[in-house]
Amino acid sequence: MRQKSEIVFLLVGSIILAILAVPTAMAQNPAPPSLKEQLEAQYKVAKTGFKGGQVTVTEPGTVLVIQKAGILGVPPGNLAIAPAAYKDGSLHAPGGFASAVAGKNARQLPAGEKVYVTKLEVNLKRDKVWFRIIECDACNGTAQPSSYKSDVIFEFPKGSLATTSVPDVEDTIAKVFALDTATTEAQPAQGEPQPEQPAPAQAVPAQGLTNDDIIKMVQVKLADSVIIAKIKSSACAFDTSVDGLTKLKQAGVSDAVLQAMVEGGGQAPAAAATAQPVILSKNILLSRGFGFDDQPRAMCSINGPDGPCQVEAFVGADLRQDPAAYTCSKLDRASYVGHCVGGALEGVSVVIADGTTKGTREAFVSYFCNGLIAYPALTSWLDESQPKFLGVFEKSMSYGCVVFGKWDSSSTSLSCPRFMDIYGNDIFTESNARALREGTFDLSHYGAKFIEYVQGK
């Protein structure tokens, strides 16, 4: 899909048809979630950044309580970390040489100290699970931030980790780090709607969305799909007279947005509440065969109906050699239709991927869990220069399901039939590809289908 040539997609379609000799059950029964994915569902990794020269936690994760002494913490500026090792039922503190390398400012993190996990790795070949932690200063009631960090490596008997059950692995981890449920529940949950806050200065006026509001959104280059979604979810007080529409057209408002304004202009100017998304845990999504990227990526700010919102840099290469793959430059002109919860995109959403290094504008329909895209995702080109297309976006590859007017492998190619299981047999229609281009895709309908599928209804 990263190639812009229709010929490439014809070749890809041919290759996929050749692969159909493999039993289709493989496409219908995706691999179970890895140990790393399941541990990440239990121990949510916190994100950190720098502010005022200090390391800060920009996005809280699961709070853990240290259960054993022997963990040596170092200040944020230290590059050398002396890891402790849990092996054969005991926590082994780092040796003298490692302690010396850690520096004179290193200090023991005592039992009872509360910490976040900032990195989690699993090495099945070496039978090790590795945690990087940082102090939760707010949880520990520290007035002066210290943010000491450390590593703990859990070593399992040789050749055993691959066959050890997830609960047994978590029981081993609990010998060193207990879940602090009280503090975790008290934090603002990423998936919870927050208490209503006073409207910011740029909020929609009480009388409803106006022509000037539409012009402002056009001037900051929000996608038509985002503007139309805002119109549909808001009270409207538009001037759709001939003069009003003429001025809007002169201001650069597209025909699709003008049509949505005319259709929405008759709404009574009353408060229009946007329904909150149904929140699905990462664990539930994993259990239903969806996956997430194995490596943490940069978080990017994109615009949408709920304002700026964070999503991971999930867009890969447009060309075979693309140094900008999985960077925010693929999304610096992107927008979304969906909900921003706790600062990150949450729920079934449409993301319009567009950026300074993005060759072809592209729509992605998927569940976003705290800003992370769930694979597989439905995808479609948006540029008029490209044929109308619907396809699959996997972790490490993309491929077509149907190029309208050319070929259709939606019922046979790898994960394409799965989308029909999720969204219904009518998902692969040219009208849906057109709706994604025009910003009129029925996300409410297909989002409900997705939730029903994951919940097994």
What the block records as the tokens of 205 is: 């006026």
For residue 111, the SS3 value is coil
**Do 154 and 295 fall within a single domain?**
no
- Partner residues linked to 153 by β-bridges: 85, 130
Average pLDDT over the chain, rounded to an integer: 80
**Do 147 and 43 fall within a single domain?**
yes
Instruction: Please give the single-letter amino acid code of residue 8.
Output: V
Total count of residues recorded for the chain: 457
**Do 17 and 46 fall within a single domain?**
no
Which of 185, 219, 243 is a domain's end point?
185
What the block records as the tokens of 427 is: 């998902």
**Do 16 and 114 fall within a single domain?**
no
**Do 303 and 256 fall within a single domain?**
no
Domain that includes residue 260, residue range: 211-264
User: Residue 188, preceding bond cis, omega within 30 degrees?
Assistant: no
Would you place residue 40 in the very low, low, confident or very high pLDDT band (cuts 50, 70, 90)?
confident
Most confident of 70-74, 122-126, 239-243, 256-260: 122-126
Residue 206 lies in a domain: no
Residue 196 lies in a domain: no
Residue 205 lies in a domain: no
| 256-290 pLDDT, tens digit each | 888 888 776 533 332 233 356 788 888 999 999 99
Residue 194 lies in a domain: no
Would you place residue 21 in the very low, low, confident or very high pLDDT band (cuts 50, 70, 90)?
very low
Q: Number of folded domains in the chain?
A: 3
Residue 190 lies in a domain: no
**Do 126 and 251 fall within a single domain?**
no
**Do 334 and 225 fall within a single domain?**
no
**Do 354 and 319 fall within a single domain?**
yes
**Do 41 and 12 fall within a single domain?**
no
Comparison of pLDDT for 51 and 20, the residue scoring more: 51
**Phi then psi dihedrals of residue 326, to 5 deg:** 60, 40
DSSP category for residue 169: H
**Do 179 and 216 fall within a single domain?**
no
Name 370's Cβ contacts closer than 8 Å, sequence gap at least 6. Answer: 190, 191, 282, 342, 344, 346
**Do 218 and 149 fall within a single domain?**
no
For residue 444, the SS3 value is helix
**Do 21 and 39 fall within a single domain?**
no
Name 384's Cβ contacts closer than 8 Å, sequence gap at least 6. Answer: 437
- Residue 54 has a CB neighbour count (10 Å cut-off) of 12
Instruction: Please give the single-letter amino acid code of residue 173.
Output: I
CA distance 370 to 348: 11
CA distance 158 to 182: 36
> What would the mean pLDDT of 34-63 be, rounded to a whole number?
81
Question: What pTM was computed for the model?
Answer: 0.46
CA distance 238 to 23: 56
CA distance 137 to 154: 25
Which of 185, 219, 234 is a domain's end point?
185
Contact between residue 404 and residue 388 where contact means Cβ atoms under 8 Å apart: yes
What the block records as the tokens of 360 is: 């072809």
